[in-house]
Amino acid sequence: MGSLPRYGVRAAGRGYRSGVDLQGVWSGLRDVAVGAGAPGAAPRWPRWLNRYWQQVLIAITLLLALIARGNAAGGPIGFQVVALGGVLPLALIAARPLVAWRIAWVFALLSEFFPDPHETGWPWFTTSILVFLVVLYAVAATQPLRTNIFVWSATMALVFLEARTGNQPGTVILLTVLMVAGDQVRRRARAQRDLRRQQERSTVLTERTRIARELHDVVAHHMSLIAVRAETAPYRLGELSEPVREEFGQISAAARESLVEMRRVLGVLRSEGQEAPTAPQPGIADLRELVERARQAGARIDLVLPEAAVGASPAVELTAYRIVQEALSNVARHAPGVPATVWLGSDGAKLTVVVRNGAPARPVPYNGEGHGLVGMRERAVAVGGTLSVGGEPDGGFEVRAVLPLSGGTE
């Protein structure tokens, strides 16, 4: 269908356009009528319910179906079908709440044509009412506001069409409060997601700044060597022609100019009041001291290092050291007292760093990403490597980094 125009009127003396967004209205109606809608969300706590959310819904649906079947026994076949159909949408709210609401709405409408043979104050089964309330809340808690408005309107139309006159005001209030509560839950969840994304981005930027400051020393060392070798070349190499001496002089000047610019960049990256580090950056050889300090603090760590030098660039050695340092900090924080292993190996082209710990006494939930893990991943990517993390079948945890020995400079 083609795009519908947006009509509006200009208010006198205001100078702005107001009106109805027909395209938005049509899109909302289409979503409610045939759209799949946003997926459902399982409760985060307790963990067992989060893991078996769909199975629990199916079990409850089957139980309610048995209750509805027993209450509808002896009635017309259409009445029995409506009774059973009214509870089936419960099994769908984990996947597609909007689809579940649509099915519940249809069966609620059909109850007008297949009424309960026994006169009651409500045209619907108790089980169907309970399921409809749950489904309506699930829709409000997961779907956008525009969709929720149309869902509320369609639900109110159903109430005024079928509910007894005396029950309509209370039903409208109940359903409205339920949808408002669900919408507030949706807004809060969205705000929390946005906050987590901002925190992750802030962590990434902070870690990148820290990496840049640390790599400055590595790069500055090499630039200083270039400048010194270029300046001393005429004295070390004997008689040189004037053009060659001039070339070495230009190389030395360019190297020193680059060092000045790098110090300016470092000054921009450094926080206010932060002093420039004067100690040399650590490398693979310093891992023994790092592990020994952790052992003195009570940790049980096995360290396996290559017997020969691996030939990694200073940037890669620094990255490997920081990854091991952060991984051991996570072990001390989340699995205190649990044995851990630090293993480094090289195949001549890549350096593999593995930090693995056993299962802690109390399982720690892994939500996919933490600030420390973000920093380790940023460090690995900065030198052209990769980082993988995850739980082990025995309940432990592993951090594995694969870093090119050249630091991604090839």
In this predicted structure, what is the pLDDT of residue 121? 66
What percentage of the chain exceeds 90 in pLDDT?
Answer: 34
Q: What is the pLDDT of residues 232-278, one digit of tens each?
A: 888 788 778 888 888 888 888 888 887 777 766 666 665 545 555 55
In terms of pLDDT, which residue wins out, 112 or 118? 112
Q: Where in the chain are the domains? A: 7-194, 202-269, 284-404
Mean pLDDT, rounded, for 77-90: 91
pTM recorded for the entire structure: 0.60
In this predicted structure, what is the pLDDT of residue 1? 40
CA 268 to chain CA centroid, Å, is 31
22-36, 138-152, 252-266, 301-315: segment of lowest average pLDDT = 252-266
* 357-364 long-range contacts, CB within 8 A, separation 24+: 357/331, 357/396, 357/397, 357/398, 358/394, 358/395, 358/396, 359/335, 359/392, 359/394, 359/395, 359/396, 360/334, 360/335, 360/336, 360/395, 361/337, 363/395, 364/334, 364/335
CA distance to 290, 376, 387, per residue, from 340 (Å) = 14, 18, 18
Q: Residue 113: how many CB atoms within 10 A of its CB?
A: 9
CATH of domain 284-404: 3.30.565.10
What is the distance between the alpha carbons of residues 193 and 198, in angstroms, rounded to a whole number? Answer: 9
Q: What is the pLDDT of residues 164-209, one digit of tens each?
A: 888 899 999 999 999 999 999 999 999 988 888 888 788 777 777 7
143 contacts: CB under 8 Å, gap ≥ 6: 37, 38, 97, 98, 151, 186
Contact 91, 61 (CB under 8 A): yes
